[in-house]
A and B are shown apart, each in its own frame.
Chain A
Amino acid sequence: MRFKKNIATSDTGFIFNPGSGDSFSSNNIGSEILSFFKEDKSQQEIIELICAKYDVEKNLLEKDLDDFFSQLRDYNLLEE
């Protein structure tokens, strides 16, 4: 599971898919996760980085991350 290479992201959470022309926005944590994802960090590494910075339990983050990835998949932003 990888983020599609041609997807453009900005630090402010704006996401553009030139393939489909679709635009998206994400919140701060979402765009941080996307940037880690683009750096090819594993899900485990992302969890550790977010848990170190934000006040969140690992279990909750894991659940939310699964949901976030399922949204990325639904929006056709992932390469399987």
Chain B
Amino acid sequence: MEKLRYERPIIKKLNVGFVNKFGTQAKNEVVTNIEGVGVKELIKEYGSPLFVISEKQIRRNYQHASRVFKTRYPKVQFAWSYKTNYLNAVCNVFHQEGSWAEVVSGFEYEKALANGVPGSKIIFNGPDKTDDQLINASRNNSLIHIDHFDELYTLIKLSEEFHLKPRVAIRVNMDTGIYPKWDRFGFNYENGQVWTAASRILNSENLNLVGLHCHIGTFMMESSAYAIAASKMCQLSWDISEKFGIHIQYLDLGGGFPSTNTLKGSYLPGTDTVPTIDQFADAITDVILGFGFRQEELPLLILETGRALIDDAGFLLGTVLANKRLSDGRSSTIMDFGVNSLFTSFWYDHKVTPAQEGGQYTEETVLFGPLCMNIDVIRENVLLPLLKKGDQLVVHKVGAYNMTQWMQFITLRPNIVLLDQSSHPHLIRKAETLDYLESVEIVPNHLSKNQ
């Protein structure tokens, strides 16, 4: 006689109280495959844990966002935010779709060039640009977004010394009614600092002011903040044109559009609360189109959208190491990936689904990672079926920031696989090894084991 499927015995206390008006999930969602490829097959081939990226989903996201903006405004350009995910394979999907590159460091700049992006289509942001990087970016005709006066004066000096004609934009910070106000980057709008910067640039003989840039925050939940930002940028552009007689070619509204992840502490899931790309597009384009620019003088609208274009294209697959009862009676599960790989678990209550069919019973569980650190908590509380050692889970919407902000700490970083448009898997970053880790270490002779 064939034996029945086993599920560990549990008992749950029934609590009588107010009924949740939003209802509860009737059945646990099971995700056994990604773009048609079995989770178990992927883990068998590439190991666990494993990051998986869907090329199809990236392209769907890009094409949707591009369509949404381009059907509202005639001149739109996306620039892929390298810091969000700078795996070359990922960057090149965006570049194939038509994205420029938006970088915030010297090595990201070099990556973009190596990926074949022409220098003139690289936006160089950030507060840390060395003299050599500024000279190189100027010679490559890149768009240098100036962050502070020290950088501005350095660039003026370098342009005189090396006979450069850099194309620059001013990064502007402003009050858009949101908290926290991002005022540490760029020049302030309200106190007139931005005018001092504009005057200094336009009085220099070499710097060519071609754009204005702002980046009002991250994971923005209010589309109206972008309308305020767009309005101030238009006003500034208009006033600069009036005063100095030059045409500002582009307005770069930066990034900050959220993904549908659920922020920690949110009462409702991100899928219900996050504004759509359409709402952001309406907020921005309505203001620019209605500001009064002549049709031929409409500025190019640049967007540095990162998270919203990549987050839901990334998955993290992992395996249950153990189940454990905590001292207060709560159930906990230890996974083979922790906050070192899934950095965004500090910010989000990630959606987690089992990769195999289970019983109808579920249990509230604390999901831990494998690190010997108390902070290694993937989810403080998640309703999951009764898992056992060796079962697998899928963490959703992990495409943004994890593969750049992850830490090499206690465990080594895992493989990353890209599923192409035909769902064929490609290894795009190898799992780290001890040799890789130690290849950059140098042990002084007197501490060498051979000593």
Check B5–A55 contact: CB distance below 8 A.
yes
Q: Are A54 and B4 in contact (CB under 8 A)?
A: yes
Interface residues on B, range: 20 to 34
Given contacts A53-B4, A54-B5, A71-B329, contact A24 B13 (CB under 8 A): yes
- With both chains docked as a complex, state the minimum distance between the C-beta of B409 and any C-beta of chain A, in angstroms: 30
Complex: chain B residue closest to A54, CB-CB: B6
Q: Which of B6, B11, B12 has the most CB of A within 10 A?
A: B11
The complex places the Cα of A75 from the Cα of B11 at a distance, in Å, of 9
* A25 x B8 contact (CB < 8 A): no
A64→B4 CA distance, assembly (Å): 17
Q: A55–B6 contact, CB under 8 A?
A: yes
Chain B residues with Cβ under 8 A from A23's Cβ? 13-14
B17 within 8 A of A: no
> For chain B residues 224-257, which have a beta carbon within 8 Å of chain A?
none
Where chain B touches its partner, the secondary structure class is: loop
CB neighbours (8 Å) of A67 from chain B are: 8, 323, 325
| Known A-B contacts A54-B3, A55-B3; A15 and B8 likewise in contact (beta carbons under 8 Å) | no
Give per-residue flags for B1-26: 1 if the beta carbon is below 8 A from chain A beta carbons, else 0.
Answer: 00111111111111000000000000
Instruction: Pick the contact of B9: A22, A33, A53 (CB < 8 A).
Output: A33
A13 and B197 CA atoms in complex are apart in Å by 73
B361 within 8 A of A: yes
Q: Does A74 contact B (CB under 8 A)?
A: yes
> With contacts A24-B13, A26-B12, A75-B11 known, is A70 near B6, CB below 8 A?
no
- Minimum CB–CB distance from A44 to chain B (whole Å) comes to 16
CB-CB contacts below 8 Å: A32-74 with B: 33, 53-56, 60-61, 64-65, 67-68, 70-72, 74
Given contacts A70-B325, A74-B329, A27 and B10 within 8 Å (CB-CB): yes
A60: chain B residues at CB < 8 Å are: 6, 388-389
Q: Is B38 on the interface with A (CB-CB < 8 A)?
A: no
Other-chain residue from A24, A55, A56, A61 in contact with B11 (beta carbon distance below 8 A): A24
Is the beta-carbon distance between A22 and B13 smaller than 8 angstroms?
yes
Measured between C-beta atoms, what is the minimum distance from B390 to chain A in Å? Answer: 10
CB neighbours of A28 from chain B (8 A)? 7, 359
- Chain B residues with CB under 8 A of A71: 10-11, 325, 329
Cβ contact within 8 Å between A68 and B11: yes
Most chain B beta carbons < 10 A, residue from A23, A24, A27, A55: A27
**Contact of B361 with A27 in the complex, beta carbons under 8 Å:** yes
Contact B6 A27, beta carbon cutoff 8 Å: no
- B359-401: which residues lie under 8 A (CB-CB) from chain A? 359, 361, 386, 388-389
Contact with A along B47-58 (1 / 0, CB 8 A): 000000000000
Q: 10 pairs across A/B with beta carbons < 8 Å?
A: A24-B13, A24-B14, A26-B11, A27-B7, A28-B7, A33-B9, A56-B6, A60-B389, A68-B10, A71-B329
* B residues neighboring A (CB under 8 Å): 3-14, 323, 325, 329, 359, 361, 386, 388-389
Given contacts A29-B8, A67-B323, 12 further A-B contacts (CB under 8 A): A15-B11, A23-B13, A24-B12, A28-B7, A29-B6, A54-B4, A55-B5, A60-B6, A61-B6, A64-B9, A65-B9, A67-B325
